[in-house]
A = this chain, B = another copy of it.
Amino acid sequence: MTQKAGIIGGGVIGGGWAARFLLNGWDVSVCDPDPEAPRKVGEVLRNARAALPALSDGPLPPEGKLTFASTITEAVEGAAYIQESVGERLDLKHRVLAQIQQSSHGVPIGSSTSGFKPSELQEDAADPTTVLVAHPFNPVYLLPLAEVVPSPKTSPEIIARTKAILTEIGMFPLHVRKEIDAHIADRFLEAVWREALWLVKDGVATTAEIDEAIRMGFGLRWGQMGLFETYRVAGGEAGMKHFMAQFGPCLQWPWTKLTDVPEFNDELVDLIAGQSDEQSGAYTIRELERIRDQNLIGFLRVLKDRNWGAGKVLLAHDAARRQALPDTALGAPLETARMAVLPGWIDYNGHMTESRYLFAASETTDAFLRHIGADISYVGTGYSYYTAETHIMHLGEAKLGDALTGTVQVLHADEKRLHIFVRILKDGSPVATLEQMCLHVDMKAGKTTPAPRAILDRLLPIAAAHKALPWPKDAGRAIGQKKA
């Protein structure tokens, strides 16, 4: 059954939560007194729809239903999870939590607060056991981190349920074991922000120069390893102790102005806002959001390809959602792959680039090979199917976000040869067909060799069944031949 999330507060953060739940198949009810909330949530959702699917290698579940509630009670009614993202004022949060708890019936209530401790949020709460911090990072629909911070009063069962729900919607719940102001990440952000204000105020650097100092260097490092692992590598063979012995003494040096708080006056605000306009004013916020999202998708896909860092979270999320290859009857070509056209697959015409059709076919063929037992562990034994020849017919166009399926029809198979016809389908019609001749090879000897019994026992019955299928009209063509 579809679950419901109650989202209280519909700004950039609340909207991001709504989008993440919706795209993961949850129904969402948003409550925000701002008459602009539906527009704002709609804009975040539009960004999320253009971005989140690009992280997935399988179909997303059907999108949940979005409604706007006129009262907190209505938003919360029947919800399995509630997320509070109202303004950063403790009295406001107390009032909202009290209203939520009138109808939340013991489900977890996560707060997006950056600074308050859960025990502060729980003051005077009707039921403190269901309240905890679930602090996300903008854009909430892309970045996996959610700091989950309970107080000693939060029930262990609520903590576990919150972590499970956040994992289900593709996040990485980081359990912060001791509550502390600003949790973990924002303490670092605060430290850097404070120092950056000094550098701008003192005229050492502009906002643009500071941003370059971050994104041309350590920012790139921190997207894939954090602080300690990066330094461990820097320490080299001598290790972490050596690194600390080198860097430790610096703590006594006057390298930061952090002991002072810069006076936060109009002059400083104007200085920074002016520099920021000069730095980024050529782009609208919407444009910057899209640029940011595309960059983040790229980074996250890189990490996913490498099963590292945030990429591990994405792979685990795919695996949890993946369904077994359907046990298709052999009376039809075998559907072995489903894909969505990702932003990186698109050329300057807005169409899927040529080589991605072959990529899609490889995904389809690889899944077929896994199906007959020629999987990666088989390749590890020194044998594999190699493609000797491919003939591609470009029959249609795929565009960003299109859902494609790949099917395999076996035209002929014997001990050494596998002659297949792959269709890449959009809405049931082929956008491309690929005829391929694959050969079973002994990789070490560098020559063809018969496939083992175990593989043939799976392959030959499929080949026999597929003999009954009509011969594809484009199979056997040479380039430029007249169409049948």
Contacts and interface: CB of A to CB of B under 8 A. Distances in A.
B392 A212 contact: no
Contact of A299 (B224, B285, B291, B436): B224
Interface of A is mostly: helix
A229 B355 contact: no
Interface stretch (A72-80, A270-278, A320-328): A270-278
Given A187-B195, A255-B182, A216 B143 contact: yes
A228 B210 contact: yes
Given A355-B362, A387-B394, A391-B478, A273 B241 contact: yes
Interface in A186-221: 186-197, 199, 202-205, 207-221
A363 to B, nearest CB: 9
Contact of A222 (B182, B203, B219): B219
Interface stretch (A61-69, A173-181, A457-465): A173-181
Nearest to A365: B354
A435 B349 CA distance: 22
A215 B209 contact: no
Copies of this protein in the complex? 2
B251 A217 contact: no
Contacts of A211: 225-229
Interface in A329-370: 344, 348-349, 353-359, 361-362
B258 A259 contact: yes
Given A194-B251, A353-B362, A203 B178 contact: yes
Contact of A185 (B218, B227, B305, B392): B218
Contacts of A145: 212-213, 216-217
A239 interface: yes
Given A190-B256, A476-B479, 12 more contacts: A178-B204, A184-B199, A211-B228, A215-B224, A215-B226, A233-B285, A295-B309, A349-B384, A386-B394, A387-B394, A390-B390, A477-B478
